[in-house]
Amino acid sequence: MNEATSCMNDLKKMNNKVPFLLFVGDSRIQQLRDGLILTLTGHDYDVFANRLAVVEPRSYAKYGAHEKVYKSAGAQIRFEWQPYLDHGAGSITKLLRNVSKSQIRPDILVIGAGVWAIKDCEVAKKTQEACAKTYREQFRTLLPLLDNLTTTTTVLWTPQCAVNEIIMPKDQIHFGFSNANMQRFNDVVREVLSSAKATTKSAVIFWESAWEASVQINDDWICKPVRREPTLLRNAKLVERHSANRFCCSGS
């Protein structure tokens, strides 16, 4: 049993409940979920790396919407495929409202989406500046729902992580996947959160260290196999640490 698994099992015994971690977003968030499972169990469910490892092909064809309790790891992990933000009437809003109404809320919510908006913007031949403004308004609309969850849940907004433009496949570059665009979309989220924290004391956490790690390690494109991506594995371990801090180390 590795250190991360031991920690989760200790938390389960200490709090008499299995920590519930909910991941919401696009394929990068899915891989972060897979990285956490790999860290906790040693099993690789990353469809971008090993399609033969997929246990439930139908659910994984839909990006693995089912949740599962990993008994050996002492954690309940669920992923919801939501690649877009919306203006308050779309699927991600509906999902978050349902989570808010649920009797069993997640202990940790890891959420983030943006690369599909960047790609669609490029395909539609719109300016990324204009699309970032739309993204800002969508995030601003979503924020009250996220703030509502923070009364019971640690909410981590995952930034659009940096890419290595040198090693990235050319087709991804053509879709607008540049560091300038990743930073542009991150900046509008930072701006909205900064304004909200000054007025309403928003408790949503912008996961700044995830961005910093992606810049420093510089190993990413949009989807790389989890086992070969140090940035993703590092961030998966940080999710596990957030879980530990929430339950027993909040003062450290």
CATH code at 234?
A: 3.40.50.1110
In a domain, 56, yes or no: yes
In a domain, 251, yes or no: no
In a domain, 8, yes or no: yes
**Rounded to an integer, what distance in angstroms lies between the CA atom of residue 142 and that of residue 130?**
19
In a domain, 240, yes or no: yes
**Rounded to an integer, what distance in angstroms lies between the CA atom of residue 188 and that of residue 165?**
22
**pLDDT at residue 166, as a whole number:** 82
**pLDDT at residue 206, as a whole number:** 95
pTM for this model (two decimals): 0.84
Domain carrying residue 60:
3-246
Q: Which residues pair with 156 in a beta bridge?
A: 110, 205
In a domain, 113, yes or no: yes
**pLDDT at residue 248, as a whole number:** 47
**pLDDT at residue 226, as a whole number:** 43
**pLDDT at residue 67, as a whole number:** 61
In a domain, 58, yes or no: yes
In a domain, 168, yes or no: yes
Q: In terms of C-beta density within 10 A (0-12 exposed, 13-18 middle, 19 or more buried), how is residue 120 classed?
A: middle
- Token pair in block for residue 147: 């703030």
* CA-based nearest residue to 145, from 186, 104, 198, 87: 87
**How far apart are the two ends of the chain, measured CA to CA in Å?**
25
Q: Is residue 177 a contact partner of residue 163, using CB atoms and an 8 Å limit?
A: yes
The DSSP string of the chain is --HHHHHHHHHHHHHTS--EEEEEESHHHHHHHHHHHHHHHS----TTT-GGG-S-HHHHHTT----EEETTTTEEEEEEE-----SSSSHHHHHHHHHHH-SS--SEEEEE--HHHHHHHHHTT--HHHHHHHHHHHHHHHHHHHHHHTTTSEEEEPP-----TTTS-HHHHHTT--HHHHHHHHHHHHHHHHHHHHHT---PEE-HHHHHHHHHH----SS--GGG-HHHHHHHHHHHHHHHHHHH-TT-
Tally of structural domains, the chain: 1
In a domain, 252, yes or no: no
Q: Is residue 162 a contact partner of residue 215, using CB atoms and an 8 Å limit?
A: yes
Residues in the chain with pLDDT values less than 50: 61-63, 65, 225-227, 248-252
